[in-house]
Amino acid sequence: MMWQAHIVPMLLTVALWWGSTAVIARLIVGDPQRYPFLLRLFATIGAAGFAMILALREVNTTASAVAALLAALAVWSWIEVTFLTGKITGLTAGDKSYASTSTDGFARHAVSALAAILWHELLIVATVVIVAIGSYGSSNDLALLVLLLLWLMRSSAKLNLFLGVRNLGEGFFPPHLQHLLGFMRQRRMNPLMPVSLLLAGAIGWHFGNVALTASSTHEAAAATIIATLAVLALFEHLLMILPVPAETLWRWSLANRRSSP
């Protein structure tokens, strides 16, 4: 298998992971009056991504693997923007039916934390189901695998933030989402983190082996992309517990962060 089937998809995956996070963070810290425009823009991008997923159903080349990654990230970017703009989150901060503090019982606090992001979690489920239906029976299901991995690792990150980590990533939360920090705990480690790191590492190891033994360039590129994303997810989890602010990697994109009113 030629090295391009591994190196190029790996480098592109890293660049797209870092770049998409930075661009979204940069846009969100701007004027909130631009949020309606951002929502329309990313809804269009997400729809284009879904159309691309359908168009790539039976295309199996190295280029189609990279295109499937782009399509999945386009859909995921729309999901992220709906949350970060505060358009789709959960029950509002002023709703007493879910309000609680970390001093309340664990079960009540956990239910409250879920309620605070409930509508967005349901949006993710619905989106993944729609993509799964659109990908059913296709030979190129990489976009679905990317979305499933992003969902799994993002869910793991949320659970770890709830249970407690060193770095909460406060810099990524715009003022209208600052109340969510009340559902997070700052501590050096929690029991779930080693499991999350092992899971991400295991996924990366498995797909890395698949990439090295692949029988086609498409399979090699697709497996490389998933393996790279898993390693990046492992890295993101490590940033939660290492004595290094996670925001350092995206400092330029957070430079114009607005202060809370």
Band of pLDDT at residue 206, cut at 50, 70 and 90: very high
Cα–Cα distance, 139 to 68 (Å, whole number): 12
Cα–Cα distance, 60 to 160 (Å, whole number): 37
User: Tell me, what's the pLDDT at 5?
Assistant: 73
Does 258 fall in a domain?
Answer: no
- Please provide the average confidence, as pLDDT, over all residues in the chain: 89
CB atoms within 10 A of CB 140: 21
The answer, yes or no, to whether residue 11 has pLDDT greater than 70, is: yes
Band of pLDDT at residue 4, cut at 50, 70 and 90: low
The answer, yes or no, to whether residue 213 has pLDDT greater than 50, is: yes
Beta bridge partners of 232: none
Does 132 fall in a domain?
Answer: yes
Residue 241 structural domain: 4-249
Of 2, 144, 140, 3, residue with least CA distance to 61 = 140
Sign of CA dihedral 80, 85, 87, 90: positive
What percent of the chain is predicted at pLDDT more than 70? 87
Q: pLDDT for 233-244, tens place per residue?
A: 999 999 999 988
Band of pLDDT at residue 103, cut at 50, 70 and 90: low
What percent of the chain is predicted at pLDDT more than 90? 70
Does 261 fall in a domain?
Answer: no
Q: What's the half-sphere exposure (Cβ side, CA atoms, 13 Å) at 128?
A: 15
User: Tell me, what's the pLDDT at 261?
Assistant: 40
Does 48 fall in a domain?
Answer: yes
Does 210 fall in a domain?
Answer: yes
User: Tell me, what's the pLDDT at 137?
Assistant: 92
> Which of the 8 DSSP states describes residue 186?
B
Distances (CA, A) of 198 to 48, 187, 188, 202, 233: 34, 20, 18, 6, 11
User: Tokens for 213?
Assistant: 């033994």
Cβ atoms of residues 143 and 72 within 8 Å: yes
The answer, yes or no, to whether residue 42 has pLDDT greater than 70, is: yes
Does 166 fall in a domain?
Answer: yes
Residues 128-138 have a mean pLDDT of 95
Total of domains in the chain: 1
Residues 42-70 have a mean pLDDT of 96
The answer, yes or no, to whether residue 98 has pLDDT greater than 60, is: no
Of 201, 253, 252, 199, residue with least CA distance to 228 = 201
User: Tell me, what's the pLDDT at 260?
Assistant: 40
Q: pLDDT for 84-95, tens place per residue?
A: 999 999 986 555
